[in-house]
Amino acid sequence: MKYYASISYDGSFFKGIAIQPDQKTIKGVFDFVLSKFFQQEIKMYLVSRTDKGVHAMDSRICFELETKIPVNKLAEVLNPKLENIQINWLQEVSPDFILQKQEFSKLYKYQIKLGKTYPFEKNYNWLLDTIEYSHDFLQEILDAFLGEHDFRNFCKVDHTRNIINYTRNIQKIYFKKNENQLIIFIQGNGFLWMMVRYIVNVIISCMKLMINKSDIKNLLTGATPSKECLKVLRPAPAEGLYLYSTVGTNELSL
């Protein structure tokens, strides 16, 4: 039987989601726990990869399993065994369902604490000093990223992935403020490696007036960065990033 599921996890306890030699990863723990419990080889297939320290509230996976446990009881049985990983829901799908061929829109959120913080917040936020800004000013910065752009300046280049096309489409980008916490939401149907974290760091740099909105627009053409821009083209810390939700375009037909 093949299962399609949503999982959440606390990235603080893992070295990322993908298998790495001699490292504790989400996929490594998931495969090991299920394989041991059911006494059969289980392999998780992923929609999204996340790095060390990045969290997820709704990451989609697929796996095959032979069991007599009813599908509506399976998450209840497995969750106590999956420390710091939770199956939010799962459903049985047809044997010819291939996760990698599905189209998804992903919504990320990035949490920033400004000013007074507590030690335990470090693993779940980017901790910064207070930044003075207006609602309209920040929204204008975010709006610069909307639509299709060349994001080669907003990612970590991995030459092993042979990426040729750096054009990506940001479908939505907005923010919420909760007391001294700033949360930035970014939605798209595809992201480059560390792209959201690069975007967030550039947004914060613009809020600090280290660069301006015209610099951002120029960077989004794929142009060679100026010396000033090179100083801010780096990823924000992983700890503030969450894969907030994942939506498949044809989920209703599964």
Q: Around Cβ 164, how many Cβ atoms within 10 Å?
A: 5
Q: Where in the chain is the domain with CATH 3.30.70.580?
A: 2-102
Bridge-based pairing state of the strands 126-128 and 45-46: unpaired
| Model confidence pLDDT, tens digit, residues 109-130 | 999 999 988 989 999 999 999 9
E-strand ranges in 29-154 read 45-46, 55-64, 85-93, 104-114, 126-128, 147-150
Look at the block and give the residue holding tokens 């990320």: 108
254: confidence class by pLDDT, cuts 50, 70, 90: very low
Contacts of 156 (CB under 8 A, 6+ apart): 193, 194, 198, 235
- CATH number (3.40.50.2000, 3.40.220.10, 3.40.50.620, 3.30.70.660) of 105-246 reads 3.30.70.660
Which stretches of the chain are assigned E, i.e. beta strand? 2-9, 45-46, 55-64, 85-93, 104-114, 126-128, 147-150, 167-178, 181-188, 241-248
Q: Which long-range contacts (CB under 8 A, 24 or more apart) does 25-28 make?
A: 26/50, 26/85
209 CB burial (10 A radius; 0-12, 13-18, 19+)? exposed
Secondary structure percentages of the chain, helix, strand, coil, to 5? 30, 30, 40
Which residue has 């060390």 as its token pair?
52
pLDDT tens-digit map of 29-83: 999 999 999 999 999 999 888 999 999 999 999 999 999 999 999 999 999 999 9
Backbone angles phi, psi at 247, to 5 degrees: -125, 125
Residues of the chain with CATH 3.30.70.660: 105-246
pTM for the whole thing? 0.93
Whether domain 2-102 has CATH 3.30.70.580: the reply is yes
* Cα–Cα dist 198/146, whole Å: 15
The predicted-structure confidence for 159-172, as pLDDT tens digits, reads as follows 777 788 999 999 99
Express each pLDDT in 190-212 by its tens digit: 999 999 999 999 999 999 999 99
Type of residue numbered 221: T
CA distances from 196 to 71, 172, 233 (A): 35, 13, 12
As a whole number of angstroms, the distance between CA 84 and CA 91 comes to 21
